[in-house]
Amino acid sequence: MTQTAPPPSAATTELPAFRHFIAGAWCESTSGQTFESRNPADRRDIVGRFQQGTAADVAMAIRAAETAGPMWRRTPAPKRGEILYAFGALMAQHKERLARAMAREMGKVLSEARGDVQEGIDIAFLMAGEGRRMQGQTVPSELPDKWAMSIRQPIGVAGIITPWNFPMAIPCWKMMPALVTGNTVVFKPSSDTPHCATLLVELMAEAGFPAGVVNLVTGSGGEVGDAIVDSPDIGVISFTGSSTTGRSIATKAGAKLKRLSLELGGKNGVVVLADADLDLATDGILWSAFGTTGQRCTACSRVIVEHDVVEPLLKRLETRAANLRLGPGLDESTDVGPLINAGAVDKVASYVDIGRSEGELVLGGGRARDGDLGHGNFFEPTIFAGVGAMDRIGQEEIFGPVLSVIPVADYGAAMLALNQTRYGLSSSIYTRDVNTAFRAMRDFETGIVYVNAGTTGAETHLPFGGWKETGNGHREAGNVALDTYTEWKSIYVDFSGRLQRAQIDNQ
């Protein structure tokens, strides 16, 4: 990929301006407009200016991707895999720089930002290997002298639309399987994390993806995202984000009979039974509820607890959560970073108001404004006790550091409460009883189940995704991720030299 005009580096100008990446060149938007990305821990800190993309920019990116398509799909898959491997190696080499940029732009604490980059590396290496696997089937034919097999083929141009909460891992989860299977890509990142996306695409260019194979267009969901969804020339869309946006994309894509993978909201629960190791459960719940400030799709926002252990568990949670240190993600001593933007703070505050009438507020509940925190989007870790399973704070995705404790009588009631939600991403159970653990593995209606661990911690080589309204049945990660980006082709070769009729001549 040729870089005709690399974006200026943050170190060399006061307010760096970054560009789209289309057909192997860094270019400005036809709008002539830019938007700012700011540090959520300190809104005075502007990360940079980014191109306010237009439908015309998207059209150019799609043309570039279409032009590169035939060359890329004819490149042997193992060769494509080698470029993915080079990209993964570059990410590993630049891991610390990427993690720091992420902590600054998105706010997650450094250790988690490093984990986010690592997920990108892991999926790049996993999918690089798919370049040499990408298995189809070879099966016996029901007729003599006939060969029967199936192969995967790329769909064409993939539209990749991503959120801000895993600003490097999620684009990699999507682009790596799309690219190794021979698709070309138009990538629209969240407007809250365009710098993270630009850094990724810089490394993709350096890794050797040919011009036009990967195209980056920044800008709003309403304009850039909509143009991707609307285009008849995008064959597959992979979207991760809110259920509201996902539903609107599904409606439009459905009308065009377009392939669509949706990864949407969650309301993930941890069940704690009376026989559980409460210290272990406390560790897992705190990590799942307040890690990434509760802004993981797999974050725990409900703890469903057997009556007998509600008090001792609450005491542990309250004491430990009260000692979590709020601050910028770039500060190694920070436990909980900021929320992504002012709108997220307002949303969390509004749910805390709702919670006050539904449960008992036992910790937090306010915006954190002490000292320098006042320059950022900080919210106190918050715990409600005595919440009902069907209460709004027990049902709706808050996407912030708010935990609801729901008391129940026994495993049966816990299982019902856990499943009584329209979402189905992740769940967990703490118990020392192996039989109950297996019941939970069978009964919980979620795409991911943890036993004696919190609701987060997925690894890239198993399928990732949710049941019910968390998605539309597709999965990221694992080798099943290839399904989103490929068409199956079944091929029959008859070498008998005569007409052979399946289902007829062999009866």
Catalog residues that contact ligand NAP under the rule CB under 6 A: 161-166, 188, 190-192, 220-222, 225-226, 229, 240-242, 245, 248-249, 263-266, 297, 397, 399, 425, 466, 470
Non-local (6+) Cβ contacts of 117 within 8 A are 91, 95, 98, 99, 102, 168, 169
Q: Give burial (CB, 10 Å; 0-12/13-18/19+) of 434.
A: exposed
Q: Which is nearer to ligand NAP, 42 or 192 (CB)?
A: 192
Please state the closest distance from residue 470 (CB atom) to ligand NAP, in A. Answer: 5
Whole-number Å distance between alpha carbons of 234 and 108: 32
Q: Which is nearer to ligand NAP, 55 or 151 (CB)?
A: 55
Among 265, 239, 271, residue whose Cα is nearest residue 455: 271
> Residue 187 corresponds to which amino acid?
F
Q: Provide the edge-to-edge strand list for the sheet that holds 146-154.
A: 137-140, 146-154, 486-494
Please state the closest distance from residue 384 (CB atom) to ligand NAP, in A. Answer: 20
The catalytic position among 297, 300, 306, 476 is 297
Residue 155 CA: distances (Å) to CA of 61, 178, 181, 465, 486? 17, 9, 9, 21, 5
Q: Which is nearer to ligand NAP, 192 or 443 (CB)?
A: 192
Whole-number Å distance between alpha carbons of 461 and 91: 18
The catalytic position among 105, 263, 306, 476 is 263
Please state the closest distance from residue 296 (CB atom) to ligand NAP, in A. Answer: 7
Please state the closest distance from residue 424 (CB atom) to ligand NAP, in A. Answer: 10
Is 263 an active-site residue?
Answer: yes
Q: Which is nearer to ligand NAP, 240 or 431 (CB)?
A: 240
Q: Which is nearer to ligand NAP, 30 or 248 (CB)?
A: 248
Residue 214 CA: distances (Å) to CA of 62, 153, 229, 506? 10, 18, 17, 49
Please state the closest distance from residue 472 (CB atom) to ligand NAP, in A. Answer: 11
Give the CA count within 13 Å in the CB-facing half-sphere of 87. 34
Q: Which is nearer to ligand NAP, 141 or 220 (CB)?
A: 220
Please state the closest distance from residue 432 (CB atom) to ligand NAP, in A. Answer: 30
Q: Answer yes or no: are the C-beta atoms of 122 and 84 closer than 8 Å.
A: no
Looking at the annotation, which residues are catalytic? 263, 297
